[in-house]
Amino acid sequence: MRCDRLSGVTQLDLTARAPTGALATATVDLAAIGHNTALLGRHTRAGLMAVVKADGFGHGMVGVARAALAAGASWLGVTSSAEALLLRAAGIRAPVLSWLHDVDEDLSALIDEEVDVSVSTPQHLRSVAEAALRLGRPARVHLKVDTGLSRNGAAADDWPELLAWASRAQAAGAVRVHAVWSHLATADLPGHPGVSAQARRFDEAYAAARAAGLAPPLRHLANSAALLAAPATHHDLVRAGIGLYGIEPVPGRTFGLRPAMTLRARVVNVKRVPAGTGVSYGFDHVTSRPTTLALVPLGYADGVPRTASGRAQVWLGGQRRPVVGRIAMDQCVVDAGDTDVRCGDEVVLFGPGDRGEPTAADWARWAGTIPHEILTGVGARVRREVTLGNGEPQ
Ligand SMILES: *Cc1c(COP(=O)(O)O)cnc(C)c1O
């Protein structure tokens, strides 16, 4: 049972270990990304923008982008210039929209690489226009209007001024206004009146753009949840993030999306302990009977949320087992009961759920957060590995 026993050591398959010595692996199934992209595409007549920001929600941006494009996505969406330029550096030439920039950021490289730029303020428009004039080629911009999220986008009162600036910049040959767009606040709350209120303001904002002499060919408003639950919001393009990664975005409804990431590690220590044994910092957990504790080399620095302590479960030895005591920075402890667990045994923290293993959505519930935070939180120490659905690394 102990780690220094030969029986445990013989189970180790050293060839399966990361060459870097990583203690855990996040396996990303690109076939699942393809499946989800195609499934989402069947729910709309609009074009599909695969949102691959934040390193593809932690799945690896370039691999996800390629898989989504191959499965029918026609656009890619990212938050920052750095992400957009990484896509171009990888040789991806599909349309890309980048939507969050410093007010005075030099956007020349984006324009040069034919990345579309979102603009929410006259100051941003000036930065884009100046860079375009320096380069001698117009920038393609998507004007963003705040229809109720109260985050980015021009407020209703500021929209006419932004339109006026955009008309002038377009007349001067500095920009081409390609889209009007906005983001929904409550699409994952089916029936919430916020969606139709935002949709109405969006229509008004688009009409104002037309009245200002602009004829943007595209409108886009919907995220994953709206793609599946609010068809009236689809317009010309839908921006799917979380659904691509296989998380069902509409509470209480299942569309057949397939979680793409599996996070696993291997047991690094095993011990039999008597009843009354305190486990991990602060002894939040004390064993109630003799049991076997298995140490998992993943902690909150790797994205295993500390707030899930006392609730979380993992898949070990063909069953769910509770994580006991506080989740530490680098490690957590699993109560394996009386099962024959050994060093080197595989522990799945989350996966698609097919075998009964927990999912990222389960972890989100245990941690009081959303699956997005679980997926994007998987830390830099975790090795990334890509498969095409057959379990074989590519
Ligand atoms: C992240 C993001 C999306 C994707 O939303 P999901 O709910 O993950 O589908 C779409 N649009 C914008 C502006 C975003 O920031």
Q: Are 387 and 393 in contact (CB under 8 A)?
A: yes
User: What is the atom index within ligand 1 of the atom nearest the CA of 79?
Assistant: 15
Task: Report angle CA 58, 67, 387 to the nearest 5 degrees.
Answer: 70
Read off the pLDDT band of 7 (50, 70, 90): very low
Residue 159 phi, psi (nearest 5)? -60, -45
Q: Whose CA is nearest to atom 4 of ligand 1?
A: 241
pLDDT surpasses 70 at 11: no
Q: What is the pLDDT of residue 3?
A: 52
For the whole model, what pTM was predicted? 0.93
Active site residue 53: yes
Read off the pLDDT band of 77 (50, 70, 90): very high
Using CA atoms, how far apart are residues 327 and 165, in angstroms rounded to an integer?
Answer: 52
Q: Whose CA is nearest to atom 6 of ligand 1?
A: 241
β-partners of residue 265 are 24, 347
pLDDT surpasses 90 at 148: yes
Q: What is the pLDDT of residue 21?
A: 82
The upper half-sphere exposure of residue 279, i.e. CA atoms within 13 Å in the direction of its Cβ, equals 30
Residue 366 makes CB contacts below 8 A (sequence gap 6+) with 305, 307, 308, 311, 312, 313
Q: How far is the CA of 148 from the centre of ligand 1 (A)?
A: 15
Pairing of strands 383-387, 269-273: unpaired
Residue in 144, 206, 245, 281 annotated catalytic? 281
For 174-186, what is each residue's pLDDT tens digit?
999 999 999 999 9
In which element (H, E) is residue 85 found?
helix 81-89
* Tokens standing for residue 63: 């691999």
Tell me the H-state helices in 22-119.
30-42, 53-57, 61-70, 81-89, 108-112
Active site residue 281: yes
Q: How far is the CA of 132 from the centre of ligand 1 (A)?
A: 27
Using CA atoms, how far apart are residues 201 and 186, in angstroms rounded to an integer?
Answer: 15
For 219-267, what is each residue's pLDDT tens digit?
999 999 999 999 999 999 999 999 999 999 999 999 999 999 999 999 9
Among 317, 324, 316, 269, smallest CA distance to 297 is for 269
Residue 83 phi, psi (nearest 5)? -65, -45
Using CA atoms, how far apart are residues 315 and 116, in angstroms rounded to an integer?
Answer: 43
Using CA atoms, how far apart are residues 15 and 3, in angstroms rounded to an integer?
Answer: 19
Q: What is the pLDDT of residue 190?
A: 83
pLDDT surpasses 90 at 10: no
Q: What is the pLDDT of residue 297?
A: 98
pLDDT surpasses 60 at 13: no
Pocket of ligand 1 (CB under 6 A): 51, 53, 99, 183, 223-225, 239-243, 249
* Tokens standing for residue 304: 């295993």
Residue 240 makes CB contacts below 8 A (sequence gap 6+) with 37, 40, 48, 49, 50, 51, 73, 223, 224, 227
Using CA atoms, how far apart are residues 374 and 361, in angstroms rounded to an integer?
Answer: 8
Helical pair 61-70 and 30-42, crossing angle rounded to 10 deg? 50
Q: How far is the CA of 98 from the centre of ligand 1 (A)?
A: 12
Residue in 53, 144, 206, 245 annotated catalytic? 53
Q: How far is the CA of 143 from the centre of ligand 1 (A)?
A: 16
Q: Whose CA is nearest to atom 13 of ligand 1?
A: 183
- Mean model confidence pLDDT for the chain: 94
The percent of residues above 90 in pLDDT, for the chain, comes to 92
Residue with tokens 């938050």: 79
* Tokens standing for residue 95: 């349309």
